Amino acid sequence: MIELTGLLILPAIGIIALILKKVLHLAISEEKIVTSVTIATAMVFFLGLIIGFQGISITLVNAIDFSFTLQLNGISIPFLLLAVVLPGLGLWSAYKEIKENKALFYIFYLLSYLSLIAVFMSSNLISFFIFWEIILISFFFIIAFWGERETKRKASMKFLIFTQFGSMVLLGAFILLYVYTGSFSLNTIASSTALIPIQIQDVIFFFVIIAAIIKMPLFPLHSWLPDAHTSAPTAGSVLLAGVLLKLGAYVLILFAVLLFPGVVKTFQVPLIILGLFTVLYSTFAASAQKDFKRLIAYSSIFYMALVFIGIASLNSLGETGAIVLIVSHGFIVGMLFVLAGMLKEKTGTRDLDKLGGLMSRIPMYAFFLVLAIIATLGVPGLSNFPAELLVLLGAYAVYPLSLLALVGVLIATNYYLSAAKRILFDSLKKTFGKITDISALDALQLSLFTIFIVVLGVMPSILINSFNLTI
């Protein structure tokens, strides 16, 4: 058995090592520290998947039922997979991009890494919220300090205000849960939901939904996401789209679907309609984008809306599909953002109008880009397909019009293929005569993403068997 704390101690060691390096002027490079920490954490995690995990509970303040409780719930593992693996996969982009105040950047990076892992294991609501907020704060600084110079000030603040709004609402829900059940412990709450009056259940549900809508995000509270993505550094975008957005889905499943299925049932159809609307809205909005990264950002709203539909379907098909889609989308969108980062690195722009014909110069890049696009479009054999299938099966079973989401996929096909065409195909623009193909390490990074996408696509049962829909 592996202690769950082990997953947190390693990043913590990394943070301490970075601080010591800075204070004592050690000769070891920041990159080495962070790489070894993430690899070690991932290894511990995979080892734990094989031999099992062991929870821990330390009471910190008894009076307010505040304890540091790490315990896996039914749906932890898929989310943990993303949280443990993705930040590591994005690191190589950071090595290339971050040149100033590296130590500080990696401290924030590891801090959010640690908190992301912790948040999916915390079963005490206060410690959950603490980690939840640390993620936001670290991410705020990652954008505010290392984002794109022109936009970072505004984008970071927008990110913070929106997500902070979500956090406040979530906190409201937590407090209400405490007020009526007298506990912040998820297990206790789950066993005493009957104590909560029905109107309060509605209020809590409403709060959780708002938090999820902001975090995932869904129309109309999604405006922060494209801005945040366009100004975040690549590694930050990977983290943001790959894991942070998934937090919304996580709270939605945990605090709405699993705690108050009855309430969700009441509002099921409006929720699905909201999801559907967002699907169509974001897909149309994406097709109007010129900046490749922005386009990916909108498409990621699209997929999170599908996740939302899946979750709202409230049957095992839809929920399972939603979780598989979460994991799958995490890897795919991470890969796309890494690719967008490389595009900027190679050509100096992400504006689709200015690109063209790059395939002849960078064939390996082109291969990965086409692969990622095909993966995101839900082509079978790659991980999005089983997920989309399950989500739509689940959603159709309760709300037949859900199939309209397929129109969104269709339009996504159109804009993604247009993007591929505008970047890779046609004749080479003269300005790009000298660019060179991606390096071996770049290719390695992309291959790692690819491995996950393919393995999950071919054998989704590995993932599906790793969770069950219980608290």
Q: Which stretch binds another protein (CB under 8 A): 8-16, 41-49, 244-252, 283-291?
A: 283-291
402: nearest Cα among 315, 277, 316, 303: 277
Q: How many angstroms separate the Cα of 294 from the Cα of each of 96, 291, 340?
A: 21, 5, 10
Q: How far is residue 376's CA from residue 409's CA, in Å, rounded to a whole number?
A: 10
Q: How far is the CB of 123 from another protein (least distance, A)?
A: 16
Sites for another protein among residues 144-183 (CB under 8 A): 144-146, 153-154, 156-158, 160-162, 164-165, 168-169, 171-172, 175-176, 178-179
353 binds another protein (CB under 8 A): no
Q: How far is the CB of 152 from another protein (least distance, A)?
A: 8
Over the window 312 to 331, marking each residue x when it contacts another protein by CB under 8 A and - when it does not, the resulting string is -----x--x-----------
Other Cβ atoms less than 10 A from the Cβ of 458: the count is 14
Q: Which stretch binds another protein (CB under 8 A): 40-48, 84-92, 234-242, 400-408?
A: 400-408
**Which tokens in the block code for residue 394?**
């689940």
273 binds another protein (CB under 8 A): no
Among 88, 226, 330, 334, binds another protein (CB under 8 A): 226
46: nearest Cα among 79, 85, 87, 91: 85
For the chain, the C-alpha Rg in angstroms (whole number) is: 21
Q: How far is the CB of 39 from another protein (least distance, A)?
A: 27
> Is the CB of 1 or the CB of 427 nearer to another protein?
427
Other Cβ atoms less than 10 A from the Cβ of 165: the count is 15
> Is the CB of 140 or the CB of 337 nearer to another protein?
140
Helices (H) then strands (E): counts for the chain: 20, 4
> Is the CB of 211 or the CB of 257 nearer to another protein?
211
> Is the CB of 2 or the CB of 56 nearer to another protein?
56
Q: How far is the CB of 460 from another protein (least distance, A)?
A: 5
43 binds another protein (CB under 8 A): no
Among 273, 407, 454, 469, binds another protein (CB under 8 A): 407
Q: How far is the CB of 462 from another protein (least distance, A)?
A: 9
Among 100, 430, 434, 436, binds another protein (CB under 8 A): 100
Q: How far is the CB of 82 from another protein (least distance, A)?
A: 19
410 binds another protein (CB under 8 A): yes
Matching residue, tokens 């995490």: 330
417 binds another protein (CB under 8 A): yes
Q: Which amino acid is at 43?
A: M
Burial 270-279 (b: 16+ CB within 10 A, else e): ebbbbbbebb
Sites for another protein among residues 102-121 (CB under 8 A): 104
The answer to whether residues 235 and 94 touch, using CB atoms and an 8 Å cutoff, is: yes
Total chain residues near another protein (CB under 8 A): 93
For the purposes of burial, counting CB atoms within 10 Å of the CB of 434, is it exposed (0-12), middle (13-18) or buried (19 or more)? Answer: exposed
Q: How far is residue 337's CA from residue 233's CA, in Å, rounded to a whole number?
A: 10
Q: How far is residue 139's CA from residue 50's CA, in Å, rounded to a whole number?
A: 32
90 binds another protein (CB under 8 A): no
471 binds another protein (CB under 8 A): no
344: nearest Cα among 230, 462, 266: 230
Query: How do 56-61 and 66-70 pair as beta strands?
Result: antiparallel
Q: How far is the CB of 30 from another protein (least distance, A)?
A: 14
